[in-house]
A and B are shown apart, each in its own frame.
Chain A
Amino acid sequence: MKKRELAALIDVSFTLNRGERIAIVGESGAGKSILGFSIVNLISKPGYIESGSIKLENKELTTMNLRQLQEIRGKRIAMIFQDPMMTLNPVLTIGNQLVETIRSHTNISYKDARNIAIEKLHNVQISSPEKRFDQYPHELSGGMRQRVIIAAVLLLNPDIIIADEPTTALDVTIQAEILQLLLSICRDNGVALILISHDLGVVSKVAERTLVMYAGHIVEEGPTLEIINDPQHPYTQGLLNALPQMTIPGQRLNQIQGSMPSLAERPTGCAFHPRCPYATQKCKQEQPQFIYSGVSSVACFMIEDMLNEFADTDKEVL
């Protein structure tokens, strides 16, 4: 059989400022998790970063060796996953895992480490932290486990937290609490956040800036609330319009035809063209480039043409 390689991310660029909170949104298969993993070079084999550059301050991450990367992952960039059990060890107590984390990079006694761990559990609003300290992950609820993960992240005192769908598996009341906790931790400690989510409601509560992804591309980027109030890219528009709250109760929802293509069947030109109501011949052949629309940066020929038209009529008026 012939070996085939498929690109999950295509020409993705963005910057994250110190202490800034951004969100990556899009439907499943858009490439959000792969983007999150690439930042810390955690892509599972045989996947790899083919080209491009990822810089933390002025240090290049894509060419680092494993030891250097582990240093970065431990101390500068922390990850939170949808499933806390990706991080927690099922056969160790919560307390021992936290103590181990503390003692792996500071030289303090077990007793002092224990006190710090209990304090952090308290900070993430875990009730009776002394009791929880001796419990195993399976004895805790999903929401509680996610709090433990956040406590562990706090211990590392990172510059950046990458949270991949951290509340997707949780009930809405617990979700609200965890989001509040994440938000206050980032604010209080000046930690930057990359929140990966499919839920625009969640994103609107936490992120200042939003990147919308479709089929491995970023298609729109701008301030979260402006994108929500005035989406520019046809996909972002479709995504928002499809939400039940955008239609009068009982009426049919605005659906986007079709579904996200898999890597193997990704269309040429603008990847959204088979589903886009505005697609033209050009969209099928060429890749749109980013332009600033006045609200956000968008990769779309329709927006580009509109902007050009306005520019032309402006000239005529003058």
Chain B
Amino acid sequence: MATPLIQISGLEKAFSTNESWLGQWRLRQGKLARHKDSVHALNGVNLTINQGETLCVVGETGCGKSTLARVIMGLTPPSAGEIHYLDQRIDQLNNRQRMFFRRRMQMVFQNPYASLNPRMTVYQTLSEPISFHNPQLSQSSVDEKIDELLESVGISASSSDRYPHEFSGGQRQRISLARALSVEPDFIVADEPLSALDVSVQAQVLNLMMDKQEERNLSYLFITHDLAVVEHFATRVAVMYLGRICELSPTSTLFSSPKHPYTQALLSAIPRLDSNTAQPIRLIGEVPTPTEKPIGCVFQARCPYANQRCYESSPSMTLQSDGSSVACHAIEEGRL
């Protein structure tokens, strides 16, 4: 039975895009009025991440994947909603209270150039978090731990005095992973960790992530746009569109019977290796930027099945007989 590790409910995040006080004034019908422009990046996300699973989040650029990751990690506060780690609420902690969770939850980013400090050797990069979270450890135990950790991610311990630029992209991403693992977390958020890597090197990093998950019963929230990776690696998949989850399914169910109209279009667009695949489903228009909080279904402007109800009310996630959950009126009404 799946045990929840992280539970997210009603999560919203809006960014104001004209932050300066002066920039907020508009002339409206001859009068000055204050107006805050904003982007609604998350519009009510409900999600559970179970212990030991890999939950993959997919969706087009700008749909809110990175924002979701950053809000979960406490790097930016949510505008509304709650996040629980086991039975503790973690979305409103101050820095001191967060310390314990910093250790339990770690993040790996897309660009290992940007996330590793270029002026710190690999040894320094790893010893800092280890010593900080384990003040009781002696220097020699810390060193031992670093050597072990490096070898376990396939980096020779003898190269620990080198700087990030002396490693290849794949090696750097494995060092980032080693840093995340150094504090022995339960949960790792990985935001497009493979995107900057070549296919052969992607395989090395993905294999490493699978090894570590098995060894430590790690849970992953894994963000990627590579659907082949998702199909291979995910336990469950959440499909996002404009700040909402529109389908959440066990991986094999999602790929064998995608249900939401957006999921169907997304999967049909994968450039598969075989030649005789069906034509991709063409969507109308492009993803809009959500400057207003959406009313109705977030997908209505591009959906071929939209009706009046879709413009007026937002569909809620409904569990289907095959274990998937979908938010779509047409499916609920049996039109699709």
Interface residues of chain A, those whose CB is within 8 Å of chain B, are 27-28, 127, 141, 143-144, 171-177, 179-180, 198-202, 204-205, 225, 228, 238-240, 242-245, 247, 249-250, 252-256, 259-260
Contacts and interface: CB of A to CB of B under 8 A. Distances in A.
Contact of A249 (B225, B232, B275, B279): B232
Given A201-B270, A228-B273, A243 B199 contact: yes
Given A244-B232, A259-B200, A204 B273 contact: yes
B286 A256 contact: no
Interface string B225-261: 1111101110000000000000000011000000000
Interface stretch (B7-15, B93-101, B118-126, B203-211): B203-211
Contact of B200 (A171, A173, A255): A255
Contact of B280 (A177, A198, A204): A177
A168 to B, nearest CB: 10
A244 B251 CA distance: 14
Contacts, number: 111
- Tell me the dominant secondary structure on chain B's binding face: helix
10 contacts: A27-B198, A27-B200, A176-B268, A198-B198, A204-B273, A238-B200, A244-B233, A253-B206, A253-B232, A259-B170
A175 B199 contact: no
A199 B226 CA distance: 11
B273 A173 contact: no
B159 to A, nearest CB: 14
A245 B275 contact: no
Query: Which are the 6 A-B pairs with shortest beta-carbon distances?
Result: A201-B271, A244-B232, A27-B198, A255-B203, A253-B203, A176-B269
Contacts of A175: 269, 271
A176 B203 contact: no
A47 to B, nearest CB: 23
A173 B280 contact: yes
A154 B232 CA distance: 40
Contact of B286 (A28, A174, A204): A174
A242 B286 contact: no
B24 interface: no
B229 A244 contact: yes
Nearest to A180: B280
A109 B233 CA distance: 58
Contacts of B266: 172-173
B86 interface: no
Contact of B271 (A143, A176, A198): A176
Contacts of B30: none
Given A143-B286, A201-B273, 13 more contacts: A171-B61, A172-B271, A173-B283, A176-B268, A228-B273, A242-B199, A242-B200, A243-B199, A243-B228, A244-B233, A249-B252, A252-B210, A259-B168
B200 to A, nearest CB: 4
Of residues A175, A176, A228, which shows the largest number of chain B Cβ atoms within 10 Å of its Cβ? A176
B275 to A, nearest CB: 5
A27 B201 CA distance: 10
Contacts of B228: 201, 243-245
B207 A28 contact: no
A249 B251 contact: yes
B152 to A, nearest CB: 15
B271 A202 contact: yes
Interface in B249-306: 251-252, 265-266, 268-275, 279-280, 282-283, 285-286
A250 B265 CA distance: 25
A141 B62 CA distance: 11
A291 to B, nearest CB: 25
Of residues B203, B210, B269, B270, which shows the largest number of chain A Cβ atoms within 10 Å of its Cβ? B203
A200 B283 CA distance: 24
Given A249-B232, A259-B168, A204 B202 contact: no
B60 interface: yes
Contact of A173 (B198, B229, B269): B269
Contacts of A238: 200
B167 to A, nearest CB: 10
Contact of A198 (B60, B199, B210, B270): B199
A230 to B, nearest CB: 12
